[in-house]
């Protein structure tokens, strides 16, 4: 089956089937994200406690992602993904049942957030390295971009549907929809020919495997730059499950439908950014484009800190989504292409660590600053911090490039 060049990865049958099922699950996941944030605000009306939920949800990634990457390189990835997707389905089902019976409490959301975090810490490196087996190196850049587009298309559809659903019938149904959506992924994984078998048979200890991946990253400067950029953008920009509900509720005075609209604006920009990366072909993205994308995303945060109207906030969220995802998809592609087959799970676990692992720190900062001085101050703080960190990364790269010439 032939597809247009920007969609060429879909010509691979295994990837096409997995992609369709994953898109459905992502829509359900974004519906749950919106419903959970709204539920926490209904239960507590506390920006700090909302940020704390995100911290708990992502803390397993901070602590265990590199270990999970080493385990993903040792196990059949398809079997591991079935286990993680089943866990995620059960987590959503239990949370929905608690809401439907009127028994949901804040500590329930916190505990189940930890369960979700532990499932994701194994799911993400396995899923990202599994993509290479389904499409090969020639189409991995396009596959990464399509995955980013799917994630952010779901960011448009999921919050929009969830906003209407919450306004009409409450938060409970969103959790049930998410639980059912994982069934399609589990059934699809069971029918795939690709098994994601380990690339090697000789085994060291997990600790030695982790050290091998860290040594490889340290010896590859371009990989270090990609990790550093993703770390700073993840810390400062991608805290939107905390930022946007607070912006909608406390600054713009919007309800659930307005919250969904703002999240959809962010998603439109992100889909466009992912498709821009996917249309480039199989070449590795350039560093100049990565630096520029990060700079614009940080500048947009400063603009959001000054926003007091929807007509200003929505376009800025679109810009933030576009350039933020351009940066993330470009760095993901660069890391996939530079990682040896036997190390790919562990190298991509570093990507998982910096995308999700630093989120607890960022979410805690956003929640704390918003509690003390308001969400506008949190936007301004993170935009400024991001620009300063970006300047430091650029300075390090230029000094390193001059080093051999000076010697």
Q: What is the pLDDT of residue 1?
A: 64
Residue 87's CB is within 10 A of a number of other CB atoms, namely: 18
Please list, in sequence order, all residues whose beta carbon lies within 8 angstroms of the beta carbon of residue 247, skipping any fewer than 6 positions away: 262, 304, 307, 313, 375, 379
- Return d(Cα 353, Cα 73) in angstroms, integer: 16
Q: What is the pLDDT of residue 204?
A: 65
Q: What is the pLDDT of residue 198?
A: 62
Residue 252's CB is within 10 A of a number of other CB atoms, namely: 18
pLDDT tens digits for the chain (407 residues)? Answer: 677 666 778 888 888 888 888 888 989 998 898 899 889 988 988 878 887 887 788 778 778 877 877 787 778 888 899 999 999 999 999 999 999 998 989 999 999 999 998 998 888 878 877 877 787 777 777 787 788 778 767 766 777 788 778 888 888 899 999 999 999 899 998 888 766 666 555 566 777 777 887 888 888 888 889 999 999 998 888 877 777 888 888 888 887 778 778 877 887 888 888 778 766 655 667 888 899 999 999 999 999 999 888 888 889 999 998 999 889 888 887 887 777 767 777 787 788 778 776 777 787 788 788 888 888 898 999 999 999 999 999 999 888 766 544 33
Q: What is the pLDDT of residue 197?
A: 65
- Return d(Cα 326, Cα 388) in angstroms, integer: 20
Distance of CA 142 to the CA centre of its chain: 17
Question: Exposure string (b/e) for 151-178, b if CB count within 10 Å is 16 or more?
Answer: bbbbbbbbbbbbbebbeeebbbbbbbbb
Q: What is the pLDDT of residue 105?
A: 92
Q: What is the pLDDT of residue 406?
A: 37
The backbone region for 281, taken as left when phi is positive above 0, alpha when psi lies in -120 to 50, beta otherwise, is: left
Six token digits for residue 263? 């999240």
Which own/partner pairs from 219-224 qualify as long-range (CB within 8 Å, at least 24 positions apart)? 220/338, 221/397, 221/400, 222/287, 222/334, 222/338, 223/334, 223/335, 223/338, 223/347
- Return d(Cα 257, Cα 310) in angstroms, integer: 13
Q: Assess contact for 55 and 360: CB atoms under 8 A.
A: yes
Q: What is the pLDDT of residue 387?
A: 95
First to last CA, the chain: 54
Please list, in sequence order, all residues whose beta carbon lies within 8 angstroms of the beta carbon of residue 78, skipping any fewer than 6 positions away: 130, 189, 192, 194, 195, 196
Q: Between vectors from CA 150 to CA 144 and to CA 239, what angle results, nearest 5°?
A: 90
Q: What is the pLDDT of residue 407?
A: 34
Q: Which domains does the chain have, with CATH numbers?
A: 5-192+206-402 (1.20.1250.20)
Q: What is the pLDDT of residue 212?
A: 81
């Amino acid at each position: 089956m032939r597809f247009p060049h920007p969609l060429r990865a879909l010509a691979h049958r295994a990837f096409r089937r997995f992609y369709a099922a994953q898109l459905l699950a992502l829509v359900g996941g974004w519906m749950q994200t919106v419903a959970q944030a709204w539920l926490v605000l209904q239960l507590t009306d506390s920006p700090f406690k909302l940020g704390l939920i995100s911290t708990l949800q992502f803390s397993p990634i901070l602590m265990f992602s590199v270990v999970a990457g080493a385990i993903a390189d040792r196990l059949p990835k398809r079997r591991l993904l079935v286990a993680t997707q089943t866990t995620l389905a059960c987590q959503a089902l239990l949370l929905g049942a608690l809401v439907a019976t009127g028994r949901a409490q804040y500590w329930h959301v916190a505990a189940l957030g930890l369960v979700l975090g532990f499932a994701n810490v194994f799911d993400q490196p396995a899923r990202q390295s599994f993509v290479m087996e389904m499409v090969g190196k020639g189409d991995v850049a396009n596959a990464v971009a399509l995955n980013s587009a799917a994630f952010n298309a779901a960011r448009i559809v999921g919050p929009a549907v969830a906003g209407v659903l919450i306004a009409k019938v409450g938060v409970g149904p969103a959790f049930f929809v998410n639980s059912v959506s994982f069934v399609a992924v589990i059934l699809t994984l069971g029918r795939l020919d690709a098994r994601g078998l380990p690339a090697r048979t000789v085994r060291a200890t997990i600790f030695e495997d982790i050290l091998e991946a860290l040594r490889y990253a340290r010896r590859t400067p371009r990989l270090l730059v990609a990790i550093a950029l993703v770390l700073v953008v993840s810390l400062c920009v991608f805290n939107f499950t905390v930022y946007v509900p607070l912006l909608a509720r406390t600054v713009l005075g919007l309800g659930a439908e307005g919250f969904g609209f703002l999240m959809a604006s962010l998603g439109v920009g992100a889909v466009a950014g992912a498709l821009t990366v996917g249309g480039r072909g199989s070449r590795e993205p350039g560093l100049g484009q990565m630096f520029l994308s990060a700079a614009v995303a940080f500048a947009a945060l400063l603009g959001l800190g000054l926003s007091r109207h929807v007509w200003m906030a929505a376009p800025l969220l679109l810009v933030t989504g576009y350039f933020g995802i351009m940066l993330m998809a470009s760095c993901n592609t660069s890391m996939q292409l530079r990682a040896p087959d036997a190390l790919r799970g562990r190298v991509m676990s570093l990507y998982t660590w910096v995308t999700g692992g630093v989120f607890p720190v960022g979410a805690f900062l956003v929640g704390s600053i918003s509690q003390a001085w308001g969400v506008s101050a949190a936007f301004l703080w993170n935009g400024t911090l991001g620009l300063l960190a970006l300047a430091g990364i650029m300075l390090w790269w230029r000094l390193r490039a001059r080093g051999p010439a000076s010697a």
